[in-house]
């Protein structure tokens, strides 16, 4: 009997080559960053941001919270000194604090590498067992349905999440991971808790989209929560409005090693 050798495929490449000849997949979320010209420290971006994602901390540094950013690009369009640019990068993190980055206000923005360390501390062994096979249940807790469309797109022939062992299942009882979207509306809270309870451990819970990471535009009211981590423990935050299929897959692959 021949011995079968498995080689793990780690980078998501389109299985159908040259499909998007018009455009290279950019993995873009088009979130703002302070790279380029000098920031005049005018506070215009902080005032105009619809989700308060841009703030100034006590030491005078400009703090961008990518978990709250809805990638609307209003700050970029309205920056008087053109210091803000759209960054085609992915800022996923295993804790909500790591979704923030600081820049020195009034100066030239730093071009530091993104936080690469996605490895969770306590749960790493549990997550490693999903490296080759991960069954996923998706729970929508009040998104606008763009995140659903992008998660569904990870399964299409271009991204083909199944070749990475990522398989969407119909029941939380069959799931290793939950992908949760939306700020968690009051009327979905119970369903989310029940789905979480029905998922066997060890499990991985991923907040997909800025609403799930922070509440987004409509969150933090009497009818909608301020992110999924208010209700269940989160292992990975993938911000974006919505995060592209590449962003979702890349970060999942990074996390499970």
Partner 1 sequence: MALVTNGNSIKDILDMIDGLKEDAVAAQEVLVDIDLPSLRQIASGVIDRLGGSLQFVFAVDERPGSDGFSLHHVFGISARHCFLHVRSEVPTGSLEFPSLTPILPSANWHERKIADMHGLIPVDHPDPRRLVLHEDWPDGLSPLNYDFDASRPVPRVAGEYMFQRIEGEGIFEIPVGPVHAGIIEPGHFRFSSIGEKILYLELRLFYKYRGVERYLQGKSLLGGVLAAERISGDETVANAVAYCQAVERIAGIDIPERAKRLRAVLQELERIHCHLADIAGAATDVAFSAGAAKAAILRERVMAINETVSGSRFLRGVIVHGGLRRDIDNGASRGLLDFADASRNALNELKSSIFDRSSVLDRFERTGALSKSNAVDLAVVGPVARASGIPTDARIDYPYGFYELYPLEIAVRNDGDVAARVRIKFDEIERSLQIIEDALCDIQSGDICAKDTSLPSSGHGLGWAEAPRGLTLCWVEIGDDGRIVNCRWRTPSFNNWPALPYALEGDIVPDFPLVNKSFNLSYAGNDL
Binding site for partner 1 (CB under 8 A): 16, 19-20, 22-23, 25-26, 28, 30, 48, 50, 70-74, 77, 86, 137-153, 155-158, 168, 170-172, 182-183, 185-188, 191, 195, 216-219, 221-224, 241-242, 244
Contacts of 131 (CB under 8 A, 6+ apart): 8, 165, 256, 257
Question: Of 94 and 176, which has the nearer Cβ to partner 1?
Answer: 176
Please give the C-alpha separations between residue 176 and each of 134, 149, 236, in angstroms, as whole numbers: 6, 21, 14
Residue 256's φ and ψ, nearest 5 degrees, are -85, -5
For residue 18, what are its two tokens? 């040259």
Q: What angle do CA 225, 138, 226 make, to 5 degrees?
A: 10
Closest distance to partner 1 from the beta carbon of 145 (Å): 4
Question: Of 94 and 154, which has the nearer Cβ to partner 1?
Answer: 154
Closest distance to partner 1 from the beta carbon of 233 (Å): 18
Question: Of 94 and 239, which has the nearer Cβ to partner 1?
Answer: 239
Q: Return the H-helix or E-strand segment holding 151.
A: helix 146-153
Question: Of 34 and 178, which has the nearer Cβ to partner 1?
Answer: 178
| CA distance linking residue 67 with residue 13, whole number of Å | 26
Question: Of 26 and 133, which has the nearer Cβ to partner 1?
Answer: 26
For the beta carbon of residue 255, count every other beta carbon within 10 angstroms: 24
Closest distance to partner 1 from the beta carbon of 141 (Å): 8
């Amino acid at each position: 009997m021949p011995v079968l050798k498995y080689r793990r495929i780690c980078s998501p490449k389109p299985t159908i080559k040259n499909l998007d000849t018009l455009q290279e997949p950019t993995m873009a979320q088009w979130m703002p960053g302070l790279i380029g010209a000098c920031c005049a420290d005018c506070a215009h971006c902080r005032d105009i941001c619809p989700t308060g994602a841009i703030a100034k901390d006590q030491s005078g540094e400009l703090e961008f919270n990518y978990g709250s950013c809805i990638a609307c690009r209003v700050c970029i369009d309205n920056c008087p000194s053109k210091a803000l640019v759209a960054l085609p990068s992915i800022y996923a993190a295993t804790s909500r604090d790591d979704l923030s980055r600081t820049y020195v206000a009034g100066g030239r923005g730093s071009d530091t590498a993104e936080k690469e360390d996605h490895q969770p501390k306590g749960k790493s062994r549990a997550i490693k067992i999903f490296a080759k096979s991960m069954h996923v249940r998706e729970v929508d807790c009040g998104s606008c349905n763009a995140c659903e469309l992008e998660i569904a797109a990870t399964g299409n022939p271009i991204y083909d999440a199944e070749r990475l062992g990522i398989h969407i299942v119909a029941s939380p009882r069959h799931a290793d991971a939950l992908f949760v979207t939306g700020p968690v509306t009051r009327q979905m809270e119970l369903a989310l808790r029940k789905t979480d309870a029905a998922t066997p451990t060890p499990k991985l819970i991923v907040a997909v989209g800025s609403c799930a990471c922070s509440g987004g535009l409509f969150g933090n009211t009497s009818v909608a929560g301020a992110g999924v981590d208010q209700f269940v423990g989160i292992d990975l935050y993938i911000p974006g409005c919505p995060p592209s299929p590449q962003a979702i897959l890349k970060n999942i692959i990074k996390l499970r090693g």
